Amino acid sequence: MTTMEIIIPTLEELPSAARTFVEHIGARTIFAFYGKMGAGKTTFVKAVCEALGVEEVITSPTFAIVNEYESSNTGESIYHFDFYRIKRLEEVYDMGYEEYFYSGRLCFIEWPELIEELLPEDAVRVEIEERDDGSRVVRWND
């Protein structure tokens, strides 16, 4: 397993970084994004969705918990989760998380630490870190 790292010096470099990430998705479908508040998780997921051909407006699913988008490239659904407001795991059971996580469709998950025990074993852990100079580093095992 190789640790991949993308450095994003500025927002202008974000689309290129997202395309690089997409090139490494392979057959995996569950991506759990870890990072502090403000690290850029939502911004990066938005850029990745755009790189995958999502043409609709991409917003944070903070209140909805999950947003569904469609890739114009493949016609397939992409699910974007934000579990920041989850108070109890029962909320995640009630939303039918298994239907999403085991659908074979791409799932991008923000705040996965709040539902860690429900993540599939093959979920890819993606860490986003903000550096002192404002740049971002995205790391995952490829």
8 A C-beta contact, residue 107 and residue 98:
no
Place of tokens 């550096």: 131
Nearest to residue 123, comparing CAs of 109, 103, 136?
109
d(CA 65, CA 97): 10
Tokens found for residue 84? 């920041």
Asked whether residue 63 carries a pLDDT value surpassing 90, the answer given is no
Could you tell me the pLDDT band of residue 4, with boundaries at 50, 70 and 90?
very high
Asked whether residue 62 carries a pLDDT value surpassing 90, the answer given is no
Model pLDDT for residues 84-135, shown as the tens digit of each residue = 999 999 999 999 999 999 999 999 999 999 999 999 999 999 999 999 999 9
